[in-house]
Amino acid sequence: MSSTSNPNGVLNQNSEAYYDESQRTPRRTPMACMYCRGRKMKCDGGKPCQNCDKRQLSCSYRPVNDGSTSKSGA
């Protein structure tokens, strides 16, 4: 009798349940537009995003920080 789990009940990497698609985290949008950020809404990252397009708003994004400045006070 073959099993996909060891005697301790832990799944091994060869079992189908180990790679369950439902456990994957959904992709995140790198940055929300200003409207969605202000309203704390989910933004799809489009230009314009669906929320702004639906409301016929100007969809704008914050300029991307290139990492050359640091926030530390040291």
**Domains of the chain: total:** 1
- Domain extent, residue 56, equals 27-62
Domain for residue 22, yes or no? no
pTM of the model: 0.51
Decide if 74 is inside a domain: no
Q: What is the mean pLDDT of residues 40-51?
A: 94
Tokens at 43, concatenated: 């933004």
- Reported as a pLDDT band with limits 50, 70 and 90, residue 42 is very high
> What's residue 30's pLDDT?
81
Task: Indicate whether 70 belongs to any domain.
Answer: no
**How does pLDDT run across 6-39, given as a tens digit for each residue?**
555 555 555 555 555 666 776 777 889 999 999 9
CATH number at residue 36: 4.10.240.10
Domain membership of residue 37 (yes or no) is yes
Residues 6+ apart with CB under 8 A from 37: 43, 62
Q: How far is CA 62 from the centre of its chain?
A: 18
